Amino acid sequence: MKHIRVFRFLLLVPLIFSTAYAKEDGFKSLRQTSSSFATVAKTVSPSVVFIQVESFTDDTATVPFQSPFGEQTPLNEEFLRRFFGESYPGLKPGRKKPQKQRRTLGQGSGFVFKVKDGVLSDTTYIMTNNHVVKDAEKIRVTFKDGRVFNAKVTGRDPQSDIAVIEIQTDDFPVLELGDSSSLEVGEWVVAMGNPFGLSHTMTAGIVSAKGRTSIGINDYEDFIQTDAAINPGNSGGPLVNLDSQVIGINTAIFSRSGGYMGIGFAIPINMAKEIANQLIGGGEVTRGHLGVVIQNLTSELAESFNIKNKQGILISEVAEDSPAANAGLRQGDIIIAYRGEPINDIGNFRNKVALTPPGKQEEITIVREGKRLDVMVSIGKRSDDQVIAKASAKSTEQFGLTVQTITQSLARKFNATAGEGVVVTQVKPGSISALAGIKTGAVVLQVDRKPLKNADDFIREIKRASKNKRVLLLLRTGNAQHYVVLRW
């Protein structure tokens, strides 16, 4: 019996030691992770700045009515106007005081970054968001060590929400810019910034998604989505990986309350650095121009165009004398690759074209009538009134209705006016729109009596109306206008 007890004890000894070792290994792993975050904080913090912005806006006040007769003046306004002029204080709506400038303060974050060769050696460049400094009269940046500098704007790009500011010193370390295209969903990332004015705050999380477009924040979007806490004041700060490389710029949060709710968005550094270098080199951004209107390839469209795997985006219009037209691209072509890289999203395609230098020859792979073709296009230079690669059609699944902004060609085709309403390009059979008698080619002028200018207006107003489970549409078919009520 004694031998049996000894034997059992000897069997337990390895188990006890293995449990102890496993526990120690777990603690060791946690210590290594903690040490990695601490290293990132020490490396990154000296290059992150707290940005304070001072701006001034005109504030016009109206002098209250001060008739010498009080509120019940026995003299009418015409009499007072004739003998005392428009400046008489008893006249409605009152006279305006001279404009005063109202001082407003804003704040955000930024970081020192390494720029391409050939710039001033005594200047430190700081990357941030355009919305942080767009109305700035005075900019002050504060570093981790307490040093404060006055800064000026080097260049801004509202369409991507990127800005570069500069200070006259070269005494601060720069952050290494990483490769945001190699970033993986699930990878650890760290957000640095000054949320709510709390200087040099670090939060950690993971990359929860990539390639977020059509969020509606910027004109050009390809956001990294993260659950690292991003709050007001974090805007412009760096999102870095565990190698202390910047892989994004903290830009926005998804919030119903104004605070952090687990979803933040950062601009990929690959996009940001291209724009930043252009701002430093010339003070503005030059974007590529293709001249097509595009839309996502739905299952129904893919079937109609005999596309089995639903890869690609559809060209719904080609502008006359555009680079696309000159290269032979046609309406109905399916773009499946750009520069050999697969294309499945209109936002991603717009970004790629926009960041292509004008004059450069690029290969676009298309499918036309079931055949795969490679087309070389000489990218043009975009002006403000040109189309790069615009998303055209907007659909509402619940209504079975697809609409499109009225272009000049569509205006001629449907006897419509560009900027007045949207044209119905598709009605799903059996949908509430089809049952209400709406047909392809009809022009939707109003949603709940609110005039429409484009497809984005239509989607916005439809979303508002959806709360009531009912929407009133004003349609024009041919030369006749009529209202239609959709209920669901």
The contacts of residue 374 (CB under 8 Å, 6+ apart) are 363, 364, 365
The residue from 47, 157, 161, 333 that is catalytic is 161
Is 299 among the catalytic positions?
no
Contact status, residue 132 vs residue 234, Cβ threshold 8 Å:
no
- Using alpha carbons, select from 188, 183, 198 the residue that is nearest to residue 234: 198
Structure tokens given for 402: 């697809």
- Parallel, antiparallel, or unpaired for β 401-405 and 422-427? antiparallel
Is 222 among the catalytic positions?
no
Structure tokens given for 116: 């391409």
The residue from 47, 160, 180, 235 that is catalytic is 235
CA dihedral 160, 166, 172, 177 (to 10 degrees): 20
Is 257 among the catalytic positions?
no
Structure tokens given for 429: 């059979």
- Parallel, antiparallel, or unpaired for β 389-391 and 292-296? parallel
- Using alpha carbons, select from 128, 124, 176, 174 the residue that is nearest to residue 149: 124
Q: 438-441 — which CB contacts under 8 Å span 24+ positions?
A: 438/401, 438/473, 438/475, 438/484, 439/477, 441/414, 441/477
The residue from 47, 131, 244, 316 that is catalytic is 131
SS3 of residue 180 by DSSP: helix
> If you search the block for the tokens 């001082």, which residue do you land on?
103
The contacts of residue 465 (CB under 8 Å, 6+ apart) are 447, 448, 471, 472
Active site residue ranges: 131, 161, 235
